[in-house]
Structure 1
Amino acid sequence: MSRKYFGTDGVRGKVGEMPITPDFVMKLGWAAGKVLAKQGSKKVLIGKDTRISGYMLEAALEAGLSAAGLKPVLLGPMPTPAVAYLTRTFRAEAGVVISASHNPYYDNGIKFFSAQGTKLPDEIENAIEKTMDEDIRCVESAQLGKASRIDDAPGRYIEFCKSTFPGELNLDGLKIVVDCAHGATYHIAPSVFRELGADVITMGCAPDGLNINDHVGSTAPQALVERVLQEKADLGIAFDGDGDRLIMVDHTGYEVDGDELLYIIACDLQQQGSLTGGVVGTLMTNMGLEVALAKRDIPLVRAKVGDRYVMELLQEKGWRLGGENSGHIICLDQTTTGDGIVAALQVLKAASRAGKTLFELRSDIRKFPQILINVRFVGDHDPLLSASVQQAVRDAEKILGQTGRVLLRKSGTEPLLRVMVEGENEQQVRQLAEKIAAEVTAAK
């Protein structure tokens, strides 16, 4: 069926505009409640990031769920993967996260997790959309859901994260800068690394409702680079606003992205004899990762861009490790969804086992130059249908031959066309990307 509200990662938009309005979110809570109430326990966990609009949307969701007869359980500010984990451990019917991830504070979104801590199946999301067409009908007063709060949620999740790091290892003597993007990990991540023995220097840990992802975090790593160099730290770790993405920085100030982190984790798992199958990447995964993994006889397959599609392919193949170059890494041997803190611990585990620095571990992979240009388009026209854009792509592919790629794809959350060109020669790659981007801009 055609979807009106759900995208690849829930419902998202600008606060105050459809669909991120209090009335819509209340009805979304009610519709989700009506569908989920047929399942069993009736508990639904609600977590949020640190955006100021989270208070308003949390109240709206709570009202809608209660009206449907479900019991809202409030977690307060919590990383997205923490909500997935706690949904499982509390045997809840579902988990809901109020977050727009790496977007600015004026955006927000709603995404759901199943009782198993995974994204809702398509059929459940479709059923919720269908129920949205009905009028709200409140259950009888005696059946209204009663809200409650879990006060020790942060501590529970901290202990879970630590449990994914071997008990015989520690981070003693390691100086780490941790950047929480003024987001949902601000009261979680520093404690995890400190309690494992690291000397932790924090940044992006003072959320005020408006500064989430503002020149800090995994989407703006330059601040972390500067801090790592200033503090002469061993490495830096940056999360995005809801804590499901990760970027690291080595002691030289080099940004270690999701592709390189996947390589490090995969190699460690292979050495331990616990790598199942291979690695799932996406259409954006750098060819350098594919080449480096092939040298170790580790297969790589590509899914469409988006953690939902990475997860689908992992489940289809029965593999356990996958992710995106943006730093959304899924370690199914540890948890059920992308988790920045858990992924960082797997990298640190690899470094500890190998007795190597992050700089040494990432030096084994040589990334191909990859240029990504985001081109904003307006109106109803589709730039992908433009003859001039299609011709520019064909010309670029002919020039690159077998040693490069061209990929054009639309953003799932914004009116952007992402133009990616990859090849061995950076100057050539940049010129080709800019030419295609210019054709996209000119397309009407």
Structure 2
Amino acid sequence: MDFKKYYDEVYDIAKDIYMHPELGYKEYRTKDIVEKYIKKYLHNIDVQSFAKTGLKFTLPTKEKKPFKMAFVVELDAVYAPTHFHADKDTGAAHNCGHYSQIGIGLALFRALIEENIYQNFDFSISFVFVPAEEFLDLDYREQLRKNNEIVYFGGKPEAMRLGIFDEFDFAMATHAMGGDFKERTIEINSDLAGFLYKKYHFTGKAAHAGFSPFTGINAYSISTLFNVGIGLMRQQLDEKEMVRLNPIIMESDMGTNVIPNSITIGTDVRTQTVEYMKDIVKRVDDVAKGSAMSLQGQVNIETQMGYLPFLQNRYLSSFVMDTFNSYEKIPSIRNENPISAAGDIGDLSFMMPCLQVGYSGFAGTIHGDDFIENDPEFIFSIFPEFLLEVLKNMDGKIDKNELYHRDYREYEKLINDILK
């Protein structure tokens, strides 16, 4: 099958979206572009909207299939105002490559419907374009939550809450790979960390810094002690969990002539497993409490769930490896390289088996100021063709005993248990 005939239109759409990035739950222009393209080639398709800017549709089949697959695409951009193609008004930039996921998804969609190959598969295929994968713009999302427009900051957990994924047996996704590669490369089994978001509000007592500093309690000093404690604690962290902590000053109002009486430190806490996440969070909380106690101050702690760890499904990945071994257009594959980046596909993988295939073809630093594709032919033509071959390889071979399904209530219970 020649994917080159889809390339020009798909690449034009991807470039347009790259140049017009939108933050999560605000991807209205992007959503409209995707929906128009879908309906251009499937006129009577029923496209379901969800979570403000999400889209879902199922390729029509003549008969019911034994399995149902979701092909998941992310719509949103990153807040990166110094990126060389950032939106001047919003600071949004597509330096995580989600725009390329959209192009890949559209190319695959087009090939599936024009060649009609999917009709013979023993699984149906739905496309789910989800908003708000990036965990940012939190004040806006908090306002949406207060207005009862969303519950979760992440688009996939929100879609799970709304029942968007209830029908599926497994899911496939893709993601851009950061780094420079000498040859065209894909990646499988790159597990992702999960994370919690913490805020530590340290309070002390204001006093004149020159006349009577001894009557005050320095909240900034408490936060400094907290940072020292975190630094010394790192020696006790299990290396295989790839723990990441990044404490930053979020709120302060300090002057040189006043002992500061309040400061807020925020950090994410990243680990590879949920159980270790719970353990580390307790330890970090203890460091905060001890720091405040040692200088007679106070600390108020806020905890917010980020995303669950993503353990890639090795069974589904085996189909990618089998396809790679017989596919000549991609010379290199990376395997079993866990990282401490996170994504809400971890939450979706709690519900069902998920596979995420990485792809090269970019220059610059992912989430950096110079990120852009440098091999569009690979991204928007060769790689979608490869994904179609993976789907062909899956046909007739899915073992139901290798699949699992949990419902939203089980997910909600897990999140509540973590936040206790």
Work out which of the two has the higher radius of gyration on C-alpha atoms and give 1 or 2.
2
TM range (shorter): under 0.3
The one of the two structures with greater contact order (alpha-carbon pairs below 8 A, sep at least 6) is: 2
TM-score by length of 1: 0.26
TM-score by length of 2: 0.27
